[in-house]
Amino acid sequence: MTRSLHTLFLISSAALFFSGIILLSYRSYGWGVLPMLGLLILYLSFNKNRSVASFFLFFLIGFLTFQCATGWINSWDILKETKILLNRSFLLFILCALVLSQWLAKEKIRFYMRTPDWSKHISMPSHTISLPLFLWIGLA
């Protein structure tokens, strides 16, 4: 079974991304840099779909910054509530890294935050259900 070069690029970049998340989650920063280097090599070697490798790479950079900052504030002698507040605010590192990635790739940043059309129905093979009822069932 032969795969195209494009498919191998996507599979390898996803594998590097997920391995980077796992390694950085365990705070293994030395090993966590290796998937980032792999993504950088993929970014530099392929012109097509550079934005995918860039997005993954910048997410890992933001996640690494978040993990380092979280570890840094854990050594402080401050209130637990302040640590939680700072920890949550450090999530902006990940968001800023993703925005920077999209900005460098000159792609439009989409937030998908428009309200749904509440009068629509979701059609399934056996029945149709209204969107508000579907969301209420999903929340239950």
Residue 41 has a CB neighbour count (10 Å cut-off) of 13
Position 21 scores a pLDDT of 94
Residues 6+ apart with CB under 8 A from 55: 98, 101, 102, 105
Position 1 scores a pLDDT of 44
Average pLDDT, rounded, for the chain: 87
**pLDDT digits 0-9 by tens, 31-65:** 989 999 999 999 898 887 788 889 999 999 999 99
Angle at the Cα of 111 (from 113 to 69), degrees rounded to 5?
A: 120
Q: What mean pLDDT is predicted for residues 92-116?
A: 82
Residue 90 has a CB neighbour count (10 Å cut-off) of 18
Residue with the two structure tokens 């509530």: 81
Q: pTM above the 0.85 mark?
A: no
